[in-house]
Structure 1
Amino acid sequence: MPSYGGMTTSFQFSEAEEIAKAPELCQLKPVTTRFGHHGTVSTKETWSVAFTPDHSYFAWSSGKGIVRLVPWMRELNAYDASALNLFINNNNRCPSDFSEDRQLKHSRVIEYVCNSNVWSLAFGSSIPHKKLTNRQVGYRHYQHLDGDDILLLAVGLQSGAIMIFNVFKKEKFSLIDHKQVVRNLAFAPDGSLTLVSACRDHTLKVWDVKDDGNMVHTMRGHKGWVHDCAFSPDASHMASVGTRGEVFIWDMSNFRTIRKLSGHYHDAVACQYTPDGAVLLTASWDARAIAWDPSTGQILSEYHHVYPPMDPVFAGGANNSFTRGISVSPNGQHFATICDDGYVRIWSLLNNSDPLAIASVEEAVSCCFSPNGMVVAVGTRSGQVSFFAVHTNGDTIPTLQHLCRMVIRKLVPDTNLILKELKAGCLLRYLTYQQME
């Protein structure tokens, strides 16, 4: 259990014992696996975790260049332990060792050996409208990814390469252009299979995975490492975060920076939009998460992980409370953060006083919500993943007012358009998320 000395604490009004605990549902632990054709124990960091959009698989970067897709049982909010045990007992057989029976697709563990440390994962899917032009391409480049049951996994590596796997087929290929660690990846949510990569070489790159994986554009502007990137829900904009607190908003029609957000005192390391696109959340090593209006650059709320809040000079240094990750619930009213103080926090977007629920995880480095918003997965430096339930009390149920606001903001995500139509008042403040406490 994390502890604090002196005059600092992790929470504003409550002790840890007074805050609801998010119950742990299950764990994934590193096991003996293959790497470079030799058996070894995976002990490296789980820098990235992800669920498939259809909730069928959980992707786990379990260390030593290994990525595993473990079947996820949505009804039970747990991974399929029997499938994982079968995989291990069969000497870690790869997907090519299994039949192509469609009914087995979601009932087996799939393993990818990447031969380089894995730093990022992202799933992408598209509405199929063509057949593959060449189904015998094996593990080579191919012209089109269009076809039935297309589900792609992009894997960013320490070498700078990005590997693309077709989950239900045998095709794979690599995107080569970055020179350093590919820290994060994001597929456009519009089904176009446009992929953006955030890299320590100070750039973001845009890839057209449908078109041979061609590199479309290099987005420059960050002065240091780019830690994360996230598409807006309509794919028209992208947020990126990096060293020295840089937070950029990009117009994806011309790949130009349209806004720089100022507020963090240390590296901004994670970002994600709410499902309506009206709020951007960022996490930073300054022990804070910030909610922004991405259309105006206004700070809507701050969520501190140390109290009393640190002065900028201390927040910008080694403060022992780096906030390392953030994930927004599909309901848009809650989000999770991970912090070096050893706590996973489940927050209400509308109240920054204290989290709704917490859980203890040492050395957490990645987190993500499940597609139904009922589970948060947390990866650690040891390669372990813990899964926590977030439906701990009535506070985690979105209000009808919030759901109505989300519907409106999905249609009108640009705050400036709302400001033109509404005069000052309660409705304006509510629609623009200015009523957050």
Structure 2
Amino acid sequence: MCSTGNNAELQPSASDPALILELKTRRPLSLEGRPGCETWSVDFSPDGAWFAWSMGHGIVWVVAWPLDSEEGLKEDIDRGDKSFSCGQPVWGLAFGPRPPKNTDASCPVKREKKGLKNSTLLLATGLESGVIKIWNVLTGDAVFDLYGHEGVVRNLVFPQNGSLTLVSSSRDKTLRIWDLTHKGKKVQVLSGHKDWVSSCCVSSDCSMIASVGRFDRMVCLWSLRSYTFIRKLSGGTQKTLYLLSSCDFSPDGALLATAAFSGSSWWIDLWDPYTAEKLATLADYFEDYGQKISAIQFSPNGLHLAIVTDDRPLRIWEPGEKGMVMQTKSDLRSNGLCCNYHPGGGVVATGTRDGYVRFWRASRTVPSLSHLCRFTIRYSVSTYQMEPLPLPKRILEYLTYRNIPDHLRTCCSSDDEWET
């Protein structure tokens, strides 16, 4: 079904030192390059033991991670490769439920009901018709289907509290929140976008959902607790006409990154989701090339932001100090569509329009003590709760991410693969 490239640690590549390996589909030549073979979505399981890949033509491939591990393949038959035939193009997928990070009462875990357990490893796949298929990864069985969306299901997210809740966004202009303990029969519909909802994400404390509308130019925040609209984010860089493609919360929930396009220019905005303040804009860096940003994602430690574009397989940006930490060489064949960090960090998976997946070695920078403190505090304390505290201005700016250096707000382009 697929073939793997060489492991970069064994046979380093002079042209792409960050490339670890590549997966390619073994499809007939008559299907190569034709619509339907795109890799629209990739994901790692919450424990990092599985990797899922929408490999085109309605097929999702799930493999044990790491791919070069022989232990799972020899000793545990359930850890072998699995193929799920969905019958339609798969635009979005997500593993769940995600195990809880803490026992905070504000982020409750729903109890097991009707045989579907929180410990069950599920895979949700969003199809072109609007149907969402739920699979049991370990058995390979289809559990049930979710009906309601009337357009392509573009994005799927399981909140990080381990509950059997699934958030979906669609081209039918809505988001839906499904309760899988009731097989999706209990569903909340969030309406307000005027056109396609191209991406959605959930904050780490499970309180907010962010969504971006591709053509209506709206960045919306919703309450995951009351299922109501909170606010729309706007302001900052002025563009006459623009589209929105992707969004992601930082792991501590204190930042929201959004990617936007206008004419031949793309940029990334960083927002404070609590105050609706725009903290910084990564602009101009992409203007000379006119490429499209397809996806962005924060690293698990919150230090870096992965960026996938049409002309380069991967860029990694550090909002705090250095700016662009890594960028692969220009590759007009990359046509990047999606990206996803391994939950343990160190690896980023990217998918292409040609139906391939590449795995890249990402920075394993050890967080500073100050960042760890900020990360811990902001995970449970909002900006509104921070601002009244009797703290020195410099510390307050750091804790609220208002200290991003001015030279990073408008970055200059560089062809360097690695910057120190």
TM-score range, shorter chain: 0.7 to 0.9
Match in the other structure for 1:27? 22
**Which of residues 145, 148, 152 is equivalent to 1:177?**
148
Match in the other structure for 1:61? 54
Q: Secondary structure at the match of 1:416?
A: helix
1:125 and 1:205 mapped to 2: Cα distance? 17
**Which of residues 271, 275, 298 is equivalent to 1:296?**
275
1:350 to partner: Cα distance:
1.0
Q: Secondary structure at the match of 1:29?
A: strand
Match in the other structure for 1:420? 388
Match in the other structure for 1:273? 249
Match in the other structure for 1:70? 63
Match in the other structure for 1:240? 211
- 1:180-235 Cα deviation digits (max 9, x unpaired): 10010111211111111100000001100111222421100101100111111111
Match in the other structure for 2:104? none
- The structure-2 alpha-carbon separation of the partners of 1:343 and 1:68, relative to structure 1 and needing over 3 Å to count, comes to closer
1:434 to partner: Cα distance:
0.7
Give the structure-2-normalised TM-score: 0.81
Q: Which runs of 5+ in 2 are unaligned?
A: 1-14, 100-108, 406-420
1:120 and 1:217 mapped to 2: Cα distance? 19
1:67 and 1:339 mapped to 2: Cα distance? 23
Question: Sequence identity of aligned pairs in percent?
Answer: 38
Within the alignment, does 1:156 sit opposite 2:126 as a pair?
yes
- The structure-2 alpha-carbon separation of the partners of 1:129 and 1:417, relative to structure 1 and needing over 3 Å to count, comes to closer
1:415 to partner: Cα distance:
0.3
Letter of the 2:24 partner, please give it.
K
Give the structure-1-normalised TM-score: 0.78
1:270 to partner: Cα distance:
1.2
Q: Is the 8 A contact 2:112 2:181 kept in 1?
A: no
2:98 and 2:259 mapped to 1: Cα distance? 29
Q: Is the 8 A contact 1:239 1:271 kept in 2?
A: yes
1:354 to partner: Cα distance:
4.1
Match in the other structure for 2:412? none
- 1:395-425 Cα deviation digits (max 9, x unpaired): x33222111110111121x101111224561
2:367 and 2:268 mapped to 1: Cα distance? 21
Q: Is the 8 A contact 1:31 1:42 kept in 2?
A: no
Match in the other structure for 1:210? 181
1:166 to partner: Cα distance:
1.1
**Which of residues 394, 402, 410 is equivalent to 1:434?**
402
Q: Which runs of 5+ in 1 are unaligned?
A: 1-19, 34-38, 74-78, 87-100, 133-142, 311-318
Aligned length: 367
**Which of residues 40, 50, 58 is equivalent to 1:47?**
40
2:70 and 2:31 mapped to 1: Cα distance? 22
Comparing 371-380 with 252-261, greater Cα deviation is found at 252-261
1:47 and 1:126 mapped to 2: Cα distance? 21
Q: Secondary structure at the match of 1:391?
A: coil
- The structure-2 alpha-carbon separation of the partners of 1:305 and 1:364, relative to structure 1 and needing over 3 Å to count, comes to farther
- The structure-2 alpha-carbon separation of the partners of 1:41 and 1:109, relative to structure 1 and needing over 3 Å to count, comes to farther
